[in-house]
């Protein structure tokens, strides 16, 4: 028990254990202060641990909304702060990976991924049956695990690629790939019987209570892989991805090429495929990687293409691989399509993640190297190595802004959410900058969350991790603006709500932040 220290407060000397909140105790060491306090400038306080640009405490603590990097507290700009509410890890000594995350307006968060071993929390436990087992879980706004499911079968490889939740929280759907057979809550989806090495796509939907509504297969004579999924205002499910040769979904067929073609599918609320379209030219390959729906029911497809692609509004062409973003009406009619390019024809592009805002604008996140041009009046960006990338179009397809998150090492954006604030999450090595003071990685790859205004202005940048590897795989926003973050972690991680630790190999982590301005 630490020695009692007294404070002369309001003309009375008060023991520190009973002092009124916000009054200070004289100190010279952190050990003389309470467990949630720090000794700052000779006084114990929870109100001011380490402000912007000030030294962190020895254990890495800073004021709420800031992060310790390079010994200094950094990460907040313009009075915008992310204040941690809770965080936890899911997993055991085996491997648990988060592949996708979605949040509804009430703050319910749904996650999907693959795992070995066991996931257990709040009296709910699921066990893997294979080397790589797909799981889905539902966590409420308070961080309680409401239900979780794992899926059996003969599939020797399976993966969840994307997840979508209805805006009213009434349903959740996932897509991904599988080899062999897979069973979703008693519904068998058959694999390719002629060639077990050809993957098929699953599209599965549940109610918010976890009851299966329907499960469907997308197949062909070649591989078919669903990479993006969205639920629109009419409770219809849209899926995008790629296939080769031909595609079959619920009685609808598409003809393709030897190289990859992008596809766009739509299912009604009962799981009937009522729309299907392919995009490709038989060139270097065309890939749909993400899809999002706005409140009016329009959908945005993003991905990348080689040679040329035509969505019905005129051909987009390229000499290598470039980004494509296309907007479709609720009926599936193409409204506009845009190409974002690298003007030197060199460099790499990563998978593209997309989110639709309430005003009809669309935000895309990924990474790039070399030069990147969005077009219009938006200045070109340049990356010497691999930089994270976030950019936006308005509802008519006009380029709004583009922002790179670069610095020493490499940076990649793996998730995006759009509201009155845009959030992008991912991973970085060595350092990440673009929001004022850079954030330094603590060892391996660290997770980050960037907060960006709807006009592209930087608001805040936070990194968290230790000497191991961590990354953000999903971000979501509820109706009141709270931010939900999900990812994968090794070692330990502290979002500001306390240190959480991986139980073994990799674990899933989830966290919530409230916004203060």
Q: Can you give the length of the chain in residues?
A: 517
In this structure, the number of other CB atoms found within 10 A of the CB of residue 1 comes to 4
Q: Is residue 65 part of a domain?
A: no
Angstrom distances, CA of residue 93 to CA of 250, 448, 472, 510:
40, 25, 20, 18
In total, how many domains does the chain have? 1
75-111 core/surface letters (b: 16 or more CB in 10 A; e: else): bbbeebbbbbbbbbbbbbebbbbbbbbbbbeebbbbb
- In whole angstroms, what is the distance from residue 71 CA to residue 57 CA? 8
pLDDT at 328: 98
The secondary structure of the chain in percent helix, strand, coil, rounded to multiples of 5, reads 0, 60, 40
Domain interval for residue 10: 1-48
Q: Is residue 32 part of a domain?
A: yes
pLDDT at 114: 96
Q: Which of 485, 102, 100, 513 is nearest to 293 (CA)?
A: 102
Q: Is residue 31 part of a domain?
A: yes
Angstrom distances, CA of residue 177 to CA of 187, 200, 319, 393:
16, 5, 30, 30
Q: Is residue 131 part of a domain?
A: no
Please give, one letter per residue, the 3-state secondary structure of 260-319.
CEEEEEEECCCCCEEEEEEECCCCCCEEEEEEEECCCCCEEEEEEEEEEEECCCCEEEEE
Q: Residue 393 phi/psi, 5° resolution?
A: -115, 150
| Spatial strand order in the sheet of 362-372 | 353-356, 362-372, 381-393, 399-405
Q: Is residue 401 part of a domain?
A: no
pLDDT at 385: 87
Q: Is residue 34 part of a domain?
A: yes
- In whole angstroms, what is the distance from residue 43 CA to residue 436 CA? 30
Eight-class DSSP state of 18: G
**3-class DSSP state of 511:** strand
Q: Is residue 9 part of a domain?
A: yes
pLDDT at 443: 86
Total-model pTM: 0.85
Angle at 224 between CA 386 and CA 294, to 5 degrees: 65
Each residue's pLDDT, cut to its tens digit, for the chain (517 residues) gives 223 323 333 333 333 333 333 333 555 555 566 655 655 545 566 555 566 556 666 545 566 555 554 455 655 445 788 999 999 999 999 999 999 999 999 999 999 999 999 999 999 999 998 888 999 999 999 999 999 999 988 877 899 999 999 989 999 999 999 999 999 999 999 998 888 888 999 999 999 999 999 999 999 989 999 999 999 999 999 999 999 999 999 999 999 888 899 999 999 999 999 999 999 887 778 899 999 999 999 999 999 888 889 999 999 988 788 889 999 999 999 999 999 876 544 445 566 899 999 999 999 999 988 889 999 999 999 988 899 999 999 999 999 999 999 988 999 999 999 999 999 999 999 999 988 778 999 989 999 999 999 999 999 999 999 999 999 999 999 999 999 999 999 999 999 999 999 998 999 999 999 998 8
Q: What is the DSSP string of 447-505?
A: EEEEEEETTS-EEEEEEE--SS-EEEEEEEE-TT--EEEEEEESSEEESSS-EEE-SSS
Q: What is the DSSP string of 445-462?
A: EEEEEEEEETTS-EEEEE
Give the sign of the dihedral formed by CA 232, CA 427, CA 377, CA 324. Answer: negative
Q: Is residue 289 part of a domain?
A: no
Q: Which of 186, 171, 183 is nearest to 217 (CA)?
A: 183
pLDDT at 44: 63
pLDDT at 43: 57
Strands 67-69 vs 72-74: parallel, antiparallel or unpaired:
antiparallel
């Amino acid at each position: 028990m630490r020695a009692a220290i007294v404070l002369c407060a309001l003309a009375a000397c008060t023991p520190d254990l009973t002092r009124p909140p916000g009054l200070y105790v004289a100190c010279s060491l952190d050990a003389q202060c309470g467990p949630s306090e720090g000794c700052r400038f000779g006084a114990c306080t929870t109100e001011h641990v380490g402000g912007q640009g000030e030294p962190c405490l020895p254990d890495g603590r800073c004021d709420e909304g800031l992060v310790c990097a390079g010994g200094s507290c950094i990460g907040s700009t313009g009075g915008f702060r992310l204040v941690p509410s809770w965080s936890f890890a899911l997993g055991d000594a085996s491997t648990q990976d988060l592949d996708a995350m979605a949040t509804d307006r009430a703050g319910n968060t749904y996650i999907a991924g693959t795992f070995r071993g066991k996931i257990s929390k709040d009296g709910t436990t699921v066990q893997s049956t294979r080397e790589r087992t797909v799981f889905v879980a539902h966590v409420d706004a308070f961080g309680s695990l409401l239900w979780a499911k794992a899926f059996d079968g003969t599939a020797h490889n399976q993966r969840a690629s994307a997840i979508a939740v209805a805006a009213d929280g009434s349903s959740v759907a996932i897509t991904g790939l599988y080899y062999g057979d897979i069973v979703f809550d008693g519904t068998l989806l058959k694999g390719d019987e002629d060639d077990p090495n050809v993957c098929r796509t699953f599209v599965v939907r549940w109610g918010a209570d976890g009851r299966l509504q329907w499960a469907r297969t997308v197949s062909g004579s070649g591989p078919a892989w669903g990479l993006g999924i969205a639920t629109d205002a009419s409770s219809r499910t849209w899926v995008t991805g790629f296939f080769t040769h031909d595609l079959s979904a619920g009685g609808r067929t598409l003809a393709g090429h030897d190289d990859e073609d992008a596809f766009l599918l739509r299912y009604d609320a009962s799981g009937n495929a009522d729309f299907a379209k392919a995009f490709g030219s038989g060139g270097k390959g065309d890939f749909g990687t993400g899809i999002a729906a706005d409140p009016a029911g329009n959908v945005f497809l993003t991905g990348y293409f080689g040679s040329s692609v035509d969505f019905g509004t005129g051909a987009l062409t390229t000499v290598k691989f470039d980004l494509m973003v296309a907007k479709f009406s609720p009926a599936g009619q193409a409204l506009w399509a845009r190409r974002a390019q690298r003007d030197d024809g060199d460099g790499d592009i990563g998978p593209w993640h997309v989110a639709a805002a309430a005003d009809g604008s669309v935000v895309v996140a990924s990474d790039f190297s070399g030069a990147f041009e969005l077009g219009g009046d938006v200045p070109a960006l340049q990356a010497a190595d691999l930089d994270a990338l976030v950019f936006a179009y308005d509802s008519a397809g006009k380029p709004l802004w583009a922002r790179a998150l670069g610095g020493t090492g490499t940076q990649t954006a793996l998730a995006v959410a759009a509201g009155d604030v845009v959030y992008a999450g991912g991973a970085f090595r060595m350092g990440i900058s673009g929001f004022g003071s850079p954030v330094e990685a603590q060892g391996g790859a660290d997770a980050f969350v960037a907060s960006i205004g709807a006009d592209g202005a930087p608001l805040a940048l936070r990194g968290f991790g230790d000497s191991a590897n961590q990354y953000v795989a999903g971000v979501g926003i509820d109706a009141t603006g709270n931010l939900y973050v999900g990812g994968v972690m090794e070692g330990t991680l502290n979002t500001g709500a306390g240190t959480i630790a991986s139980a073994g190999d990799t674990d899933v982590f989830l966290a919530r932040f409230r916004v203060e301005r």
